[in-house]
Amino acid sequence: MVLIVLGILFLFDTIGLLDFSDFVQRFWPVILIVFGICILRRQSSSRRHERNDAPDQKVFGDIKEDVTAERINYSTIFGDLRMHVVCQSFRGGSVSTAFGDTDIDLSGAKISDGEHSLKVSGIFGDAKIVLPKNIAFSVSSSTLFGEVQYNDDRREGFSPSLLFESAGYDSAPKRLRIEASQLFGDVLVRN
């Protein structure tokens, strides 16, 4: 929706109905900051609804941690997010970055019984997710400008997406659903 509105505004600017380019030239950093804050606030409020405590947030700088919590809820605006999840009863969570890469290693985690969801989103940067071995999983990944890849299955071009579900996903007692999306950047999922 945002890109459609921007396209219309730039079209009006090109044909002389509106002087939008001057506004963008002066205020584009503010527009990006406001857009990023709105995304983080929306995700933050939905996560608070899911759990009573607030997510771990950082505005500037990298986050690098070994995570033992059952759910991960992290966000950063300017910085990379790198985590190694070693929880023995992982239940998913949500991770978002505005300007930075996301690297989540789940290879040391064990999934709790039932179906759990991990949502990874970002604006500028790449997302890399390493799945645990021997679990049932579903991967839904997309990007607007970049590439999506699950192991050797790769999609490129404008707005590529990739859907993959492991064999026996629906009947498995432990399932992890990954939803990864980037606006400008690549999404790599592997196991």
Other Cβ atoms within 10 Å of 104 Cβ, number: 25
pLDDT at position 42 is: 63
pLDDT at position 116 is: 95
pLDDT at position 137 is: 93
Residue 30 has pLDDT above 70, yes or no: yes
pLDDT-derived band at 44, boundaries 50, 70, 90: low
pTM over 0.75: no
Question: Lowest-confidence range among 17-21, 47-51, 75-79, 122-126?
Answer: 47-51
CB 14 within 8 A of CB 21: no
> Rounded to an integer, what distance in angstroms lies between the CA atom of residue 162 and that of residue 152?
12
* Higher pLDDT among residues 1 and 109, named by residue: 109
- Smallest Cα–Cα separation from 40: which of 76, 64, 78, 65? 76
Question: Where are the strands (E) in 90-150, listed by range?
Answer: 92-99, 102-105, 114-124, 127-130, 136-145, 148-150
